[in-house]
Amino acid sequence: MNTASLKTISKKMTLMGLAFLPLVAFAQEKSADDIRRELIVKAFNTYSQEFVGTLTADDVKIKDGIGRVDVNKEVKYSYYIQTENPADPKSPITLIPMATSRYAPTYYQTDEWWDAHKAEIDEAKRKGMRPPQQDSAEVAEWLKKMKLSTNPIVLQIDAKQKVSSVRLQQFLSEYYMKNFVQDGKVVLYRGGERATETGDWLRGVRPKGSRYWTPTANYGWRYARKNATFLQELIDGKPPIYVFEVPLAEFKRLTQEGRWPDLTLGTELTKQAHNNFDMRGTFTDNIGGGLDYMGIGKIGVEFEIRSNSAGANSMSRYFKRVVTIQELVTDRVKIIRETSARVQQMRPQNADATRAAFLAREEKTILEGKLLYAVQNGFSQETAKYMLTAMQQARGPAELTDSLSGENFISLIQQRIARLASRPAQMNEELQKLEAAFAKSAMTCNGVFH
């Protein structure tokens, strides 16, 4: 083979190599979530003294910037991954511990102890007696061994990949101060599962077993919908969702003073949301059509407060009333809108579909609210029937009227409508009153997700 032929072959091989390079580079290119996974593993291992062991990439499940870090599989201890703007590979990441308010030696029991004493616990409950509790010193020793606490660290990775930490109680306290204070008071809610709870609160009696509060009426609703008479009470204007207004100074005292404060701030996700994540890689909700789990809206987890007995007694002093239907709608609509904006950032390629899906949830919520308001305030039969038809024709499953109580909402509401007076001449005026009553939450539902 002559020199010219060798040069030609060499040139062709070089060109082929150059043509192949972009394919190799593309194959080796890491996705934004791959990069985030590496950063998250590094962040946790930088603070390895806070955990039972080091993490690997397999412990981090992330999709579109949102996910879960399984820190301790033995006790199902995990962190929620929140990326500020998932479309931006350099966007800050916050890693938030979940379900930690239970890790106090004064009321936690290990699984091993619980299994060994289950018969005694069940018997005590049947007799209405105080159930046995595990020795707090024994629990404290176990919690220390497992590196579990009510005040673990929240990890934050900034745009320059710098890792910092803050204790959970400080992180949540600051969030409450910025987002859940009205007129110098922290507004909290509680959903009552027991049929007698509403009557107890209204009589000034703290119901037995009151231990949880939340800063959103929406999460209180998730508990209340288990109440056996939830829908009837909702129609009657006395839903088992209760409003508490705690003076700011008192809230700080209850959540910050003492080794074991009377109120412990925490986060939570439903078991179903975790199960859905295990199956699909995203936190979704079976309520509302299987869309992304809403949480508090801007963050896809729930905020929850656990109290000890003294804390529950203190909270009973700050009970104000049952929630109104306007408050319930306004709270739900706000969370729907914030969730829609968050999910659109997660998956911008599906922004239009996301916007439409959450807008349907918003419209349904407002229509349910208007129907309930109409029957609660004695509007005409014509107006109530009109709103019932509009609600039934709206897209999507039930929102506020979704229930685990076993009641039939349509049957109950039709019975209530039948008792209303017929006043067709007042229908237009009443429809205008409904618009005014829900003006704060409605915003006409058009173009609200910009």
pLDDT grade, residue 1 (50/70/90)? low
> Do residues 273 and 283 make contact, with C-beta atoms less than 8 angstroms apart?
yes
At residue 2, the pLDDT reads: 52
Q: 149-166 as b/e, with b when 16 or more CB fall inside 10 Å?
A: bbbbbbbbbeeeeebebe
What is the model's pLDDT at position 447?
39
3-state secondary structure of 242: strand
From residue 192, alpha-carbon distances to 43, 310, 401 in Å are 40, 19, 16
Amino acid at 354: T
Angle (CA) 285 189 392, round 5°:
50
CB 223 within 8 A of CB 193: yes
Q: Residue 409 and residue 232: Cα distance in Å, rounded?
A: 8
Give φ, ψ of 186 to 5 degrees: -85, 120
The pLDDT value given to residue 138:
95
**Predicted pLDDT at 143:** 96
pLDDT at 443: 56
pLDDT at 29: 83
C-alpha span between 379 and 283 (Å, rounded): 40
Predicted model pTM: 0.90
The answer to whether the beta carbons of residues 379 and 430 sit under 8 Å apart is yes
Report the mean per-residue pLDDT for the chain.
Answer: 92
pLDDT in the model for residue 189: 99
Cβ atoms 66, 36 nearer than 8 A:
no
How far apart CA 308 and CA 256 sit, in angstroms, is 13
Single-letter residue type at 416: R
What 3-state DSSP class applies to 164?
strand
Among candidate residues 214, 446, 218, the one with its CA nearest the CA of residue 332: 218
| pLDDT tens per residue across span 21-80 | 454 444 568 899 999 999 999 999 999 999 999 999 999 999 999 999 999 999 999 999
Question: pLDDT tens across 377-406, in order?
Answer: 999 999 999 999 999 999 999 999 999 999
Residue 334 and residue 440 in contact, taking contact as beta carbons nearer than 8 Å? no
State the pLDDT at residue 445.
44
Q: How many CB atoms sit inside 10 A of residue 252's CB?
A: 16
DSSP state of 96: E
Q: Is the pLDDT of residue 15 over 50?
A: no
How many whole angstroms separate alpha carbon 107 and alpha carbon 212? 13
Question: What three-state secondary structure class fits 119?
Answer: helix
Q: What is the longest distance spanned by two Cα atoms in the chain?
A: 106
182/243 Cα distance (integer angstroms): 13
- Given CA atoms 188, 191, 194, 195 in this order, what sign does their dihedral have? positive
How many Cα atoms within 13 Å fall on the side-chain side of residue 153?
Answer: 18
DSSP 208-221: TT--EEBS-HHHHH
Report phi then psi at 371, rounded to 5: -60, -50
Name which of 138-147, 278-287, 434-443 the model is least confident about.
434-443
Quick one: tokens of 312? 């529950």
Among the listed residues 326, 325, 441, 431, the one whose alpha carbon sits nearest the alpha carbon of residue 387:
431
Is residue 298 within 8 Å of 180, Cβ to Cβ?
Answer: no
The closest alpha carbon to 110, from 148, 79, 152, belongs to 148
